[in-house]
Chains A and B, each alone.
Chain A
Amino acid sequence: MNRQTSAIRVFLFACLALFAAGRAYAAGEPAPPPLPLMPPTDVRAFDTPSDGGGSITIEFGPSPDEAAPNDPVVSYAVERAACKPEKFSFTGATSARLLAPRRRARETPALTIVDSDTQDGADYFYRVVAVARSGRRSDPVAIGPVQSKAQWFAVNKLNLLCLGAIVSLAIVFFIEAIRRGKKPFIRKIAGLDAVDEAIGRATEMGRPILFVPGINDMNDVQTVAAVIILGRIARTIAEYDTRLMMPNTRSLVMVAARETVKEAYTAVGRPDSYTDEMITYLTDEQLGYAAGVTGMMLREKPATCFYLGGFYAESLILAEAGNSIGAIQIAGTANPDQLPFFVAACDYTLLGEELFAASAYLSNEPKQLGSLKGQDVGKAIAMLVILIGTAVETAATLANSDLLQRIADFIHGLFRVAA
């Protein structure tokens, strides 16, 4: 009986309490204070790896309150104190990733802030605070002391070192093998086979040859490749005693090209035929240069035009001007965006790597041809890895297998280029 009475009393008390709470809410009384914001998790601070010092990386996992329906965490602030864990000042902030809940459960992405204003060897203390949309802040998570230091080897570039070493060794190996008499098979490159014919055509027509080395300076490998090819072509031009025109957009390219062409003319026994007027400077301005070269083309009507090097928007202006005067045109660039224009407007186009292979191809020397075979090894590796990577990635997706996904990520990581 007593028990029944007690139970009834508790029930009545609960009803009254609920009723009172409902009345208070309806009357607009302040709601109880919200629960404190959850701070970020797994906070770590460490010397930034593979760098030259002066940098500390702060890494942390997302706050569980990123998923809160009301007032979620939207950003994180990192504060720093030097020497002692006091007098913290703002160092940086990052936005919350706000991932979909399903994705958040599968992968817990680390958020990072890099403090790149540290003195090597000095102690630093950090604390990380989660900030909600309303501006509420979580309790800070402190960490430290941490020191930055310079590394002697960039471990994150180890993959590049290995790949570069494999390709380089392959190149050196094939150079040696071909030097010892092994006959290599070299694929025909139509654009390079046509060089002699193009120069001969200009000679027969009594018209000049135009060589445009692109608009980049000598610190671009495309320009270096263009000047190397110019050295080969200049020999034939000198032998045929044809006039060469080479307007430049960079003074340094002009100087380098003059030396190269002068040496080529000397090498074939025609030093007197060379003049500095063959290789001139126009302007550094891209479109001014295009206008100048186009004007030269329309006035001088060269029979053959070479466009080899780094090109941008001016590529089509030049190639179409050359097409309008009926010149035979051979182009080559490593800028993939400009290749379609050259393919559309020129007779022959060297696609990407062919620009770099041109010198070896034209020289026909064993030690040069060996480098082409070495490149082929690199291509074979690339093809193999692409095939394996595609197969593993596809299988991982179809089978929803974590193991296969890890293998796919590992393969992908092998070719990831560090900043």
Chain B
Amino acid sequence: MLTRSVPILITFVVGVVLVVSFFIPHQPFGKLGEDFSVFFDIIASFAFFLGGGNLVRIHLETVGKRKPGWGYSGITLVSFFVTLFIGFSKIGNPWGIQGDLSEYGSPFYVIYESIFTPASATMYALLAFYVASASYRAFRAKNLEATVLLIAAFVILLGRTFVGAVLTAWLPDSLAFLRIPNLANWILVTPNLSGQRAIMIGISLGIISTSLKLILGIERSYLGGDGE
């Protein structure tokens, strides 16, 4: 009973207080939003220990039981502990223990700039290929909607390159709106923006509805059941 009613009560009180504080700038309400944000950060930082602990436990188990791919888990564990040790002890930091963690030239800086950043950039670069393959599937003119999408995408792609400008530069000023860069811009700021705003209105209403259901205790599935 308490496992359900206490979280619902906390949600209700915190929800109502935050809504009220949005409309009352006077203290003590004015800064409650910021205060709750700080509370959240404190709780989240404690939860980080749970996350780190979970990571170590799972990979230790994989290595211990020699599960498939245990070598990767070993690399993960070694990387985790080496980075943690260097970060905490600040070994090799030019300014010693009082220096900034990511001081230029420190081992932590080297790990970050020479291993982490290139690895992240590599993952990010994969997007270029994924965009191409996803676009290829999405832009096949299977029906009317897909054909419209294909044409719009083609105009925008062309309008963003110098080819688009060159192709239609000969059009007189009275027909300037038909130049491909102008058409591309029109597609982006008129139909595209209208669609995005419609989605944003729906999202805002969805957020109001979800928040209201949580505050009033109508939505309880995050507690695992409906409590009925």
Q: How far is the CB of A352 from chain B (nearest CB, A)?
A: 4
Min C-beta distance of A290 to chain B, whole Å: 6
CB within 8 A of B27: which of A52, A161, A280, A368? A52
A252 at interface by CB-CB < 8 Å: yes
Pick from B31, B127, B212, B219: contact of A228, CB under 8 Å: B219
Task: Tell me if A94 is interfacial: C-beta within 8 Å of chain B.
Answer: no
Chain B contact-residue range equals 35 or more
Are A251 and B226 also in contact (CB < 8 A) when A356-B203, A356-B209 are?
A: no
In the complex, chain A residues whose CB is within 8 Å of the CB of B58 = 277, 280
Residue from B47, B120, B216 within 8 A of A251 (CB atoms):
B47
Q: Are A341 and B224 in contact (CB under 8 A)?
A: no
Decide if A121 is an interface residue (CB 8 Å cutoff).
no
With A336-B196, A382-B201 given, is the CB distance from A368 to B225 under 8 Å? no
The dominant DSSP class at the B interface is helix
B50-79 near A? 1/0 per residue, CB < 8 Å? 111011001000000000110010000000
Note all chain B residues with C-beta closer than 8 A to A52: 25-27, 30-31
By beta carbon, the residue of chain A nearest B55 is: A281
By beta carbon, the residue of chain B nearest A363 is: B221
Q: Chain B residues near A41 (CB, 8 Å)?
A: none
Known: A151-B26, A259-B224, A316-B127. A281 touches B120 (CB 8 A): no
CA distance A218 to B17 in the complex (A): 18
Cα separation A414 to B47 with both chains bound (whole Å): 42
Chain A 323-335 per-residue mask, 1 if CB under 8 angstroms from chain B, else 0: 1000000000010
Residue A66 at the chain B interface, CB threshold 8 Å? no
Chain B 208-228, CB within 8 Å of chain A: the 1/0 string? 111111101011011111100
Q: Which B residue sits closest to A256, measured CB to CB?
A: B222
Q: Which of A227, A287, A379 contacts B124 (CB 8 A)?
A: A287
B113-134 contact mask (Cβ, 8 Å, vs A): 1 or 0 = 0001001100110110011011
Q: Is A232 part of the binding interface, using a Cβ–Cβ cutoff of 8 Å?
A: yes
Asked if A221 and B221 sit within 8 Å, CB to CB, the answer is no
Cβ-defined contact, B134 with A264, below 8 A: no
- Complex: A319 Cα to B135 Cα, angstroms: 13
With an 8 A cutoff between CB atoms, is A63 at the interface? Answer: no
- Contacts known (A320-B134, A382-B201); A267 close to B208, Cβ less than 8 A: no
Tell me which of A168, A260, A267, A352 contacts B202 (CB under 8 A).
A352
Determine if B27 and A153 form an interchain contact, defined as CB atoms under 8 angstroms apart: no
Q: Once bound together, how far apart are the Cα atoms of A157 and B19, in whole Å?
A: 12
User: CB within 8 A of B50: which of A232, A255, A295?
Assistant: A255
**Bound-complex Cα distance A413 to B24 (A):** 20
Report whether A260 and B222 are in contact in the complex, using a CB–CB cutoff of 8 Å: yes
Q: How far is the CA of A282 from the CA of B213 in the complex (A)?
A: 31
Asked if A75 CB lies within 8 Å of chain B CBs, one says no
Chain B residue nearest in CB terms to A341:
B134
Q: Is the CB of A371 within 8 A of B209?
A: yes
With both beta carbons as reference points, the residue of chain A lying nearest to B208 in the complex is identified as A167
Interface residues of A in 340-356 (CB under 8 A from B): 341, 343-345, 351-356
Report if B23 contacts A (CB, 8 A). yes
A43 at the interface (CB under 8 A from B): no
Check if B224 sits within 8 Å of A167, measured CB to CB: no
Bound: A217/B45 CA distance, A = 12
- 25 A-B pairs (CB sep. < 8 Å): A51-B25, A52-B25, A53-B25, A157-B22, A227-B222, A248-B51, A251-B51, A255-B47, A259-B224, A276-B54, A287-B119, A287-B120, A287-B124, A288-B120, A288-B123, A336-B200, A336-B203, A341-B131, A343-B138, A344-B137, A345-B137, A352-B206, A367-B218, A378-B205, A382-B205
Residues of chain B touching chain A, judged by Cβ–Cβ distance below 8 Å, are: 22-27, 30-31, 37, 40, 43-44, 47-52, 54-55, 58, 68-69, 72, 116, 119-120, 123-124, 126-127, 130-131, 133-135, 137-138, 196, 199-203, 205-214, 216, 218-219, 221-226
